[in-house]
């Protein structure tokens, strides 16, 4: 007889539940941390993770994965992709690393909360690997981003971003604190592992990986594909948990958590993935549109997994479908217009050929978002860069903490709600609905605009706001990624016509 197969002993390693004798159980599993109320320990011990891995297998497989990723990096560093890359691609790297690296680290803390607070022994073991995975993702992305820090100060945001008050960070922190950091382990696993990871990390890590390969950044492609292979494993933590909740009369709770998490994830990914895919990736390298990826990964696949579990599509499904063609176009106009507030330089992505592509992928784009770009482009054509930068701030949603955008002429609308004597503004009825689910949870948070108006930002002018957001402090803000060279194409068309 040689070594035992995993299946022969695996169940013993996850039979670790015992009855507490010296300390009351609620001291060891406070409800606020574990979120296990109403379900017996016998039921928790039936938790069965669909993807099984042992420690022995884990350290072996992960060592090999890292070896692959770091050796590709070492081999390709010499090719100096950075010097040859399109500036739009460099902006994607800055945005991605700034938004993702240390959030991955927070996800390690999230997984460690399951190690400690989950009443399901199988989940505690799987989360131990999930915790290591997230440390891997933080460390690898920090290490890879660090390569570029000596080329451009804006890469310092890969490490520092989440400690700043930049508007994008305020949005990210509100979202991640809500979903990853401040709820009990059971709720967090449903929101973060099931809704966020099985739904959305595919977009960033698979969708963007094909664009990266096309754009010649094989190092980044390899890195994020490898990360996604871990996500695909530990994302499955949430599914058996959902089954347990549904079978034990907590379907409504599960549905509500998913409905909140899916919408909040959608909003943040319009910035993180939607904008880069449809505007920053050089046209010739685009694999699919953001909408097409969303339709594949969320509208089809995620909806199917909800259905398989006996859950419903969120009540706002029709609003989400409409938003797929709209929301990120507004956010692109916003981020590009307020580019001095960013730690990256956004690509406009609206040269004549790019506008043709947008119109093809999003029929009606020219008649709506295109109209705003017409005005911006006209000013640039006439050499008035200063007329393309707003002199005021956008109004910000008190849930997503993103500018309240919409489709020109058709869907732009505030969704206000007065609560406790304060007027709140929301970008959609779904954002407002989330707030109304638990007003106390959200009501004291101040958006960037609330801070500006209540005197938290000094001096209370636009320079003060930029400094408050870390611009001119940590690095310079953004400009146009291509230094407006795309405007020349319009000038030459005009010259031909005249």
Site for other proteins in 381-440 (CB under 8 A): 385-395, 403-409, 412-414, 416, 418, 423, 425, 440
Q: Does 238 bind other proteins (CB under 8 A)?
A: no
Which 87-126 residues touch other proteins, going by CB under 8 A?
102, 105-106, 108-110, 112-116, 121, 124-125
The answer to whether residues 347 and 91 touch, using CB atoms and an 8 Å cutoff, is yes
Nearer to other proteins, 138 or 294 (CB): 138
d(CA 156, CA 150): 9
Q: Which residue has the tokens 């919409």?
A: 406
Nearer to other proteins, 99 or 298 (CB): 99
Q: Does 232 bind other proteins (CB under 8 A)?
A: no
Q: Does 287 bind other proteins (CB under 8 A)?
A: no
User: Who contacts 238 (Cβ-Cβ below 8 Å, separation ≥6)?
Assistant: 189, 190, 192, 193, 194, 195, 197, 198
By CB under 8 A, which span of 206-214, 292-300, 317-325, 474-482 interacts with other proteins?
474-482
Which 330-369 residues touch other proteins, going by CB under 8 A?
330, 333-334, 337-340, 369
Nearer to other proteins, 234 or 309 (CB): 234
With the C-alpha atoms ordered 251, 254, 260, 265, is the resulting torsion angle positive or negative? negative
Structure tokens at 369: 């978002």
Phi first, then psi, for residue 364 (nearest 5°) are 100, -5
Q: Does 43 bind other proteins (CB under 8 A)?
A: no
The answer to whether residues 363 and 416 touch, using CB atoms and an 8 Å cutoff, is no
Nearer to other proteins, 207 or 478 (CB): 478
Integer CA distances (angstroms), 409 to 274, 275, 338, 375, in order: 22, 21, 21, 15
Q: Please give the full DSSP string across 332-356, using - where no structure is assigned.
A: HHHHHHTGGGSSS------SHHHHH
Which 168-227 residues touch other proteins, going by CB under 8 A?
170, 173-174, 177-178, 181-184
By CB under 8 A, which span of 85-93, 248-256, 258-266, 449-457 interacts with other proteins?
449-457
Nearer to other proteins, 179 or 306 (CB): 179
- Which of 259, 278, 475, 482 is close enough to bind other proteins by CB under 8 A? 475
Residues in contact with other proteins, total (CB under 8 A)?
135
Nearer to other proteins, 191 or 298 (CB): 191
d(CA 128, CA 113): 10
Phi first, then psi, for residue 130 (nearest 5°) are -60, -40
Please, what is the minimum distance in Å from the beta carbon of residue 296 to other proteins?
27
Helix (H, G, I), strand (E, B) or coil at 401: coil
Nearer to other proteins, 18 or 308 (CB): 18
Q: Does 83 bind other proteins (CB under 8 A)?
A: no
Q: Does 59 bind other proteins (CB under 8 A)?
A: yes
- Which of 84, 153, 304, 489 is close enough to bind other proteins by CB under 8 A? 153
d(CA 320, CA 220): 30
d(CA 221, CA 48): 32
Please, what is the minimum distance in Å from the beta carbon of residue 245 to other proteins?
19
Please, what is the minimum distance in Å from the beta carbon of residue 313 to other proteins?
26
The answer to whether residues 290 and 278 touch, using CB atoms and an 8 Å cutoff, is yes
């Amino acid at each position: 007889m040689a070594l035992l197969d995993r299946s022969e002993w695996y169940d013993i390693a996850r039979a670790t539940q015992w009855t507490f004798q010296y300390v009351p159980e609620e001291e060891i599993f406070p409800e606020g941390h574990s979120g296990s109320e109403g379900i017996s320990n016998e039921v928790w011990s039936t938790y069965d993770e669909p993807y099984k891995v042992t420690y022995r297998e884990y350290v072996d497989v992960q060592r090999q994965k890292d070896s692959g990723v770091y050796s590709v990096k070492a081999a390709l560093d010499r090719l100096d992709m950075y010097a040859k890359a399109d500036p739009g691609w460099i902006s994607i790297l800055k945005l991605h690393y700034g938004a993702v690296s240390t959030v991955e680290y927070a996800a390690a803390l999230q997984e460690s909360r399951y190690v400690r607070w989950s009443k399901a022994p199988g989940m505690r073991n799987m989360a131990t690997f999930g915790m290591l995975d997230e440390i891997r993702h933080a460390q690898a992305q920090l290490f890879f981003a660090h390569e570029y820090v000596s080329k451009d100060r804006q890469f310092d945001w890969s490490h520092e971003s989440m400690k700043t008050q930049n508007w994008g960070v305020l949005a990210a922190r509100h979202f991640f604190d809500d979903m990853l950091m401040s709820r009990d382990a059971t709720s967090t696993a449903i929101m973060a592992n099931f809704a966020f990871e099985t739904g959305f990390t595919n977009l960033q890590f698979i969708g963007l990986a094909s664009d990266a390969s096309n754009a010649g950044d094989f190092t980044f492609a390899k890195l994020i594909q490898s990360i996604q292979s871990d996500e695909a494993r530990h994302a499955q933590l949430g599914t058996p948990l959902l089954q347990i909740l549904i079978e034990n009369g907590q379907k409504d709770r599960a549905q509500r958590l998913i409905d909140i998490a899916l919408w909040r994830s959608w909003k943040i990914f319009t910035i993180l993935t939607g904008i880069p895919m449809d505007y920053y990736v050089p046209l010739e390298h685009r694999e699919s549109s953001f909408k097409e990826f969303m339709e594949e990964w969320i509208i089809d696949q995620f909806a199917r997994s909800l259905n398989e579990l006996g859950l419903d599509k969120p009540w706002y499904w029709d609003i989400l479908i409409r938003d797929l063609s709209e929301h990120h176009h507004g956010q692109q106009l916003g981020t590009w217009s307020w580019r001095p507030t960013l730690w990256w330089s956004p690509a406009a992505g609206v040269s004549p050929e790019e506008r043709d592509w947008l119109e093809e992928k999003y029929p009606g784009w020219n008649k709506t978002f295109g109209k705003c770009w017409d005005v911006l482009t006209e000013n640039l054509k006439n050499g008035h860069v200063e007329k393309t930068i707003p002199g005021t701030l956008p109004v910000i949603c008190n849930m997503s903490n993103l500018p309240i955008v919409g489709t020109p002429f058709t869907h732009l609308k505030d969704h206000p709600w007065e609560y406790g004597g304060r007027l709140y503004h929301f970008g959609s009825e779904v954002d407002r609905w989330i707030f109304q689910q638990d007003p106390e949870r959200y009501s004291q948070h101040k958006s960037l605009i609330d801070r500006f108006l209540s005197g938290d930002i000094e001096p209370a002018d636009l320079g003060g706001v930029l400094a408050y957001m870390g611009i001119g402090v940590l690095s310079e803000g953004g400009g146009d990624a291509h230094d407006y060279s795309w405007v020349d194409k319009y000038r030459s068309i005009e010259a031909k016509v005249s």
